[in-house]
Amino acid sequence: MTKKTIAKTASRKPVGIASLVLATTIRPIREDLAGLSGRLPEAPAALERLAGLQSTTPTCTVFIARATFHDDELGRFVKLMSKDGTLIEERMDTFNALNLLRQSAYLAAALIEPSSDDDRWAKEYIGECLASAAKRQGDAARAKLLRKAFGVAPKAKRKSRVADVGEMTAWIHETVRRMGLIRPPASGASADELARAGCFRLEEAPSLEAFFAAAPDLTSLAEEAMDLLTKADTWKQSVGENDRVLEQAAKSALTLAYAAIARVGLWPARTERDLHAKVTCRAILRDRVADPARARAVAAMAYDLGNGVAGQSDRFKVEPQHATERFPGQE
């Protein structure tokens, strides 16, 4: 080897994922579906805590902005891997963690009730975007499921007319304002600022991989879901004409139950015990046909996504008998 060749080889800079300067601090990370139950307000009894959930839950726009941020980071991952794929196996769980954070945020946005006109617009907008993308990829069933999960109603045909300048200007300003609500944090923000916003860059790979490695106990989640469903059913049957507290507590219990079921579906099974938890929650979904179609669709999406992750590696266990089952609300 000549001196020229040695010099050229020595000065070659790392490319792809290897070029990243990784953080050395391990940050705590929690996906948004898990975060819903963590926001219950302090109160003497479960009924009061659950009744107050809506007031402490972030808006749909917050969840969508986080999902968009992690979607962008997944795009960075793919772009960097296209330059040098030698570290793909080593960093696969960075991808898995970012994907789980993205999907959990979208599912949380779909699951919660909109609290304002901006929330309703954001849910419909992102639901239509995701459904249109699925349709372009040739997956009409997934597109239909996404529209159901996000509550996207079929668009009524309206006669077209030419808007005047004032209407057009107002529409543009309103659209710009609303798009700003779901815009992700700037990627140039500090790691601390992003972490406070629940957003994590590729450079946080050690934290992301630690998060993905510390999977939740799916059996405990299934038990939590069953307990919340029992509360929701009991309170719903007891709701009086003007009993807003009991009514809201029943709705919140149902929401958190489906958040737990969605987490069971979304996280890949690592043990036979995990698989049993998935079977338990599938049975719940088959039986509870009277629950809101939106909630059932969210759970169905979570199962589809979780099966996709499980199928990529022999580290995970795939549901052999039910992987292609269609739930009520998924038809």
Burial 222-255 (b: 16+ CB within 10 A, else e): bebbbebbebbeebeeebeeeeeebbbbbbbbbb
Q: Cβ(127)–Cβ(151) under 8 Å?
A: yes
User: Tokens representing 118?
Assistant: 């901006």
User: Tokens representing 249?
Assistant: 């507590």
Q: How do the domains of the chain map onto residue ranges?
A: 58-156+166-185+194-204, 214-331
Q: Cβ(149)–Cβ(110) under 8 Å?
A: yes
Query: What pLDDT was estimated at residue 126?
Result: 95
Query: What pLDDT was estimated at residue 8?
Result: 47
pLDDT digits (tens, 9 = 90+) for 199-217: 999 999 999 999 999 999 9
Q: What is the 3-state secondary structure (H, E, C) of the chain?
A: CCHHHHHHHHCCCCCHHHHCCCCCCCCCCCCHHHHHHCCCCCCCCHHHHHHCHHHHCCCHHHHHHHHHHHHHHHHHHHHHHHHCCCCCCCCHHHHHHHHHHHHHHHHHHHHCCCCCHHHHHHHHHHHHHHHHHHHHCCCHHHHHHHHHHHCCCCCCCCCCCCCCHHHHHHHHHHHHHHHHHCCCCCCCCCHHHHHHCCCCCHHHHHHHHHHHHCCCCHHHHHHHHHHHHHHHHHHHHHCCCCCHHHHHHHHHHHHHHHHHHHHHHHCCECCHHHHHHHHHHHHHHHHCCCCCHHHHHHHHHHHHHHHHHHCCCCCCECCCCCCCCCCCCCC
**Could you list the pLDDT tens digit for every one of the 331 residues in the chain?**
554 444 444 455 777 888 889 999 999 999 999 999 888 888 888 888 998 888 889 899 999 999 999 999 999 999 999 888 888 888 999 999 999 999 999 999 999 999 899 999 999 999 999 999 999 999 999 999 999 999 998 765 555 655 566 677 776 778 788 888 889 888 789 999 999 999 999 999 999 999 999 999 999 999 999 999 999 999 988 877 668 889 999 999 999 999 999 999 999 999 999 999 999 999 999 999 999 999 999 999 999 999 999 988 889 988 865 555 555 445 5
pLDDT digits (tens, 9 = 90+) for 23-67: 999 999 999 999 998 888 888 888 889 988 888 898 999 999 999
Query: What pLDDT was estimated at residue 7?
Result: 45
